[in-house]
Structure 1
Amino acid sequence: MLSVQNLTGGYAAHQPVIHDVSLEVRPFEIVGLIGLNGAGKSTTIKQILGLLVPQKGTVTLDGKLLSEDPFFFRSKMAFIPELPHFYEELTLWEHLELTARAYRLPREVFQERAEHLLETFRLKKAANWFPNTFSKGMQQKIMILCALLVQPSYLIVDEPFVGLDPLAIQALLKMLKDGKERGMGILMSTHILEMAEKYCDRFVILHDGRVKLRGTLAEMRRETGDPDASLEELFIQVVKG
């Protein structure tokens, strides 16, 4: 289980962005991290990944802190960022090769998975192209392919659908669903609430850096006393107070 307990932190010690955030991601589930721009979603994700050091609280993966066993922690997790980051001097295929080496994938496993992902996301002809020639959506697919290539135990996804065409969105959603069914635990930040309601098992709603509501849709409906509310309606209730 990925466990975040009482996490407080941000970019400056005197001005934390998130306050006492707690959440859990278990195998075989997708947890939706929901909030307005500036609510603290990306900050929470950066704390989980170890890109920011918490001022208070802990992040554990299967009971271990990042500081206790960095290799174990990082080898179990992959990340799809909101904005693509890539090496201009490497082709798409070389990005996949680099990822496979970092995660120590056997060559035959890498080859099979890479070919399947290129086919699924319609990038086979672009395998030996350089990403600075790609459209924004194609660049985002590099991040998606690299993360899915390793089939991690835990996948962190930050606004993955930005810039993707409908076929790519459909392919990614199927991959996320298949990953969950294989036992992957997924934390997904998204603004597309209708999609989140359909695909996520539980939700964490952040507002002003604090968890305001959490649980399954049924649990949140009971807590708010609104038995028929959609996720979007619950979210609007929270942000409007």
Structure 2
Amino acid sequence: MDLLTVDIKQAGYTKNDVQTITDINFTVKAGELVGLIGPNGAGKSTVIKAILGLLPLTLGKVKFIMSGPKYAYIPEQPIFYDKLTLWEHLELAAAVHEIKENALLKKSDELLTLLSLQDVKHHYPTSFSKGMQQKLMIAICFLIKPDVYFIDEPFVGLDPRAAKALISLINKERKRGAGVLISTHQLEIAEKTCDKIIIISDGSIVTSGTFEQIREQCHLSGASLFDCFNQIMEHLG
């Protein structure tokens, strides 16, 4: 079942910059992990922001088919309240989404243990490293269990254990039926984990499909996603 259908004709940040991204069309199905990859400045973050209605100009349609909380968004740059501790952030998220105290205690204990944040749950995020701030964002989003996750460059700043923990959380949510759209430069992770890969350049989709389909399109049997990606970028000039 499609949880998200995206048909964006154009989107941008100002009236003079309408075509930052153009002709972005794809779906995210229940239980599916979709990887959005491309060079720096290709428009990956802009695509996510356009879907979420965070751009001043978006022409097209975005359709969610949901039963519970619509979505959770983990931006590339962590966003938090300076005067709230990690635990208070979780309490705030629980209050907003009407998560009962017993459920909050159980879910948060699992998340904080997995993400190695138990010892700092009463600390302020301003004292955290970028990786720890990123793990706070992950904990908040996975606490509320939405139908669709939007995750923008989540592995930046994460150590290998934290990256493994995030992948574990994503896979658990996929089994529950959640859909996940993730933008990443970590091509090896995308190759191993994504059901579908969307490659964009200069604000438009260049190609999409399973990893095997992209291999076939590149005529590179047995090649890595890294090799396929670089061949595609070289052909684009």
TM-score bracket for this pair, using the shorter chain length: over 0.9
2:60 alignment partner in structure 1: 57
Asked if 2 retains the 8 angstrom alpha-carbon contact of 1:28 and 1:181, the reply is yes
1:144 alignment partner in structure 2: 138
Q: Which amino acid aligns with 1:2?
A: L
What aligned pairs does 1:24-173 form with structure 2 within 5 A after superposition?
Answer: 24-62=27-65, 75-173=69-167
Asked if 2 retains the 8 angstrom alpha-carbon contact of 1:7 and 1:54, the reply is no
Q: SS of 2:45's equivalent?
A: helix
Which of 199, 207, 232 pairs up with 2:201? 207
Q: SS of 1:55's equivalent?
A: strand
Structure 1 distance, partners of 2:224, 2:159, is 26
- Percentage of pairs with the same residue: 43
Q: CA deviation at 1:54?
A: 4.4
Structure 2 distance, partners of 1:6, 1:135, is 36
Structure 1 distance, partners of 2:198, 2:83, is 39
- Two-structure CA RMSD over aligned residues (Å): 1.6
- Gapped regions of structure 2 (runs ≥ 5): none
1:14 alignment partner in structure 2: 16
Structure 2 distance, partners of 1:121, 1:127, is 11
Q: Which amino acid aligns with 1:180?
A: R
Asked if 1 retains the 8 angstrom alpha-carbon contact of 2:8 and 2:60, the reply is yes
Q: Go from structure 1 to structure 2 and tell me whether the alpha carbon gap of 1:24 and 1:97 turns closer, same or farther (over 3 Å shift).
A: same
TM-score, length of structure 2 as denominator length: 0.93
Q: CA deviation at 1:53?
A: 4.3
Structure 2 distance, partners of 1:127, 1:212, is 43
- Gapped regions of structure 1 (runs ≥ 5): 64-71
Paired residues in the alignment total 232
Q: CA deviation at 1:229?
A: 2.9
Q: CA deviation at 1:162?
A: 0.8
1:2 alignment partner in structure 2: 4
TM-score, length of structure 1 as denominator length: 0.91
Deviation string 1:143-200 (CA, Å, 9 cap, x unpaired) is 1100111111100110001111221111111111111111110001000101110010
